[in-house]
Structure 1
Amino acid sequence: MLWGQIMDQDGQGVTEQAKVYRVWDRPTRVFHWFNVFCVTTLIFIGFLMLFRGDLGITGLEAKIKLKTLHVWVGYLFAINLSIRLLWGVMGSSSARLSKLLPNFAAVRRYKAQLKQGESPQYLHHNPLGNIAVFAMMLLLVIIMLTGLVRAGTDIYYPPLGGVVSDYLAQPGVAGASLKPYDDTGVDKQKVTQLKPLKSLAGTVHVYGVYLLMVIIALHIAGVILAEVKHQPGLVSAMISGKKRLTRPPED
């Protein structure tokens, strides 16, 4: 913790003292902003894939190229998320996944404090923000897993692509010779058997992203509200790793 002084709009010091706490270590902050980049890029490419016909993007080659680009960015997303999950178990206390677990008693207390006109301050996320972050992390894992399934079943990319292509190949045909969206050498009966799993993964993946977008919007709205009315410095803390509080944190 570092001591600081709250400044008024004219840059003059006022009597209220504040403590500057270190929060959210560098790996956590790097994950957050790189994840923002990956998710934003994936959503953009995903919409290009869904609406490519309306955008005049036609042809099998264009479809495969968009899918391949989506998968490669997805690998960056998956690696980043996997490192974050590992760091959430082995990393510093501010990065621990256990801090993301919802605490509904704390939520009720927080809402009661807001109704009384108070502005409780938190070192990490407030209880409502914590629920949003927990939901986002859970959805990110689901989206990652279903995305890897579709990468393997659509264009035979790792980690499942080799297993899938070997399974779908006709007797005497090497799985590695199969090409995306090409029935040559493919056992159509096995394609039919695999279709329900592929369809389920795709549905969960797409609607998981839609739900993630809703939660992200709510999270951003909550951050803006907190910055303006309750606890300034949330965004800057995710950049600098420091948060200034005028009273002891609730957490």
Structure 2
Amino acid sequence: MQITKEQVFVWSRNIRLFHWINVVAILLLIALGSMILHSKTFGIAGDGKVLLKTIHVLVGYVFACNLIFRLIIGFVGKGYERWHKTLPFNSGFKAEFTEFKAGKKQAYKGHNPAGKLMVLALLATMTAQMISGLVIAGTDIYYPPFGHYFAESIAIDKDNLAAIQPYSKENVDEVAYQAMRDIRNPFITAHVYVFYCLLFLIPLHIIGVVIAERREKSALVSAMVNGYKYLPKNNTDEH
């Protein structure tokens, strides 16, 4: 029996732009972060390492602005931009997930239950990475939003903050600098471990998309380009 399908608009321009900007930004951040993490192996030191960190932070700003935009439209957006349609917190999610595991529903207008769990995991790790990254940027190369505060906290002469530069001890109080490094250490640890979590979650997400597409045959990938899925008539969720 042939199933009749219809073209259904699901993903708004906001969601699609967020998704692809996020893909590019994360790939760049992973590449740059890996080079920074293994800088000794690559023979990168001094000005080269500062340059890598600066580019990493600038790309990080794009990533952060894009993520903050997504977090905001989850509360004020329309349709499948909204969190109650994207995250596994709606009242019927448990029953929805049970139905999904049993294979009773073959098509989902938005994310299927497994997809909602993955979105939650990715958003949580990306948010943790954003926060830890902004703190590290402020304590390492003294970039906004926290750089001025940390530079001022370690300065001997508060009126000469311009003298404080990465890997330079000019105008730096050693005791205050060590205190700043102590504050920084747990954020560094979190940033590294969340980085590894993302390296695990991203391939898992891709595998999940492949499996879902084989199961649903609803054009999942192209839907994130043009916004449209192809779904069986009268067999789509409205969660």
Normalising by structure 2, what TM-score? 0.92
Alpha-carbon distance in 2 for matches of 1:132, 1:172: 46
> How far is the alpha carbon of 1:173 from its aligned partner?
5.3
User: Following the alignment from structure 2 to structure 1, what is the Cα–Cα distance between the partners of residues 99 and 66?
Assistant: 34
Specify the alignment match of 1:53 in structure 2: 40
For 1:210, which of 190, 196, 200 is the aligned residue?
Answer: 196
Distance 2:86 2:202 in 1: 16
Higher relative contact order (CA 8 A, sep 6+): 2
Residue 60 of structure 2 is matched in structure 1 by: 74
1:205-228 CA distances to partner (integer Å, 9 max, x unpaired)? 111111012111111101111112
**Shift in Å at residue 175 of structure 1?**
2.3
- The AA in structure 1 aligned to 2:11 is W
Deviations 1:148-202 (A, max 9, x none): 0000000000111011101110145522320111112111111222222201111
Unmatched runs of 5 consecutive residues or more in structure 1: 1-13
Cα deviations across residues 30-53 of structure 1 (Å, max 9, x unaligned)? Answer: 110110000000000000111122
Match of 1:98 in 2: 84
Give the partner amino acid of 1:111. Answer: K
How many residues are paired up? 233
Distance 1:184 1:173, change over 3 A: farther
Alignment of 1:208-247 (within 5 A): 208-247=194-233
**Counterpart-to-counterpart distance in 1, 2:201 and 2:98:** 20
Scaled by the length of structure 1, what TM-score is found?
0.87
The SS at the match of 1:16 is coil
Tell me if structure 1 keeps the 8 A contact 2:152–2:158.
no
Query: Identity, % of aligned pairs?
Result: 38
Tell me the CA shift for residue 70 of structure 1: 0.3
Counterpart pick for 2:97 among 84, 107, 132: 107
Structure 2 residue 34 is the aligned partner of structure 1 residue 44: no
Q: Quote the Cα distance in structure 2 between the aligned partners of 1:140 and 1:184.
A: 35
CA distance 1:95–1:135, change in 2 (3 Å): same
Give the letter for the 1:230 counterpart: E
Deviations 1:69-102 (CA, angstroms, capped at 9, x unpaired): 1001001111111111122222212111232322
What is the alpha-carbon distance in structure 2 between the residues aligned to residue 138 and residue 105 of structure 1?
24
Give 3-state SS (helix, strand or coil) of 2:26's partner: helix
| Cross-structure match for 1:184 | 170
Residues 237, 243 of structure 1: 8 Å contact kept: yes
Quick check: 1:131 aligned with 2:121?
Answer: no
| Unaligned stretches of 5+ residues in structure 2 | none
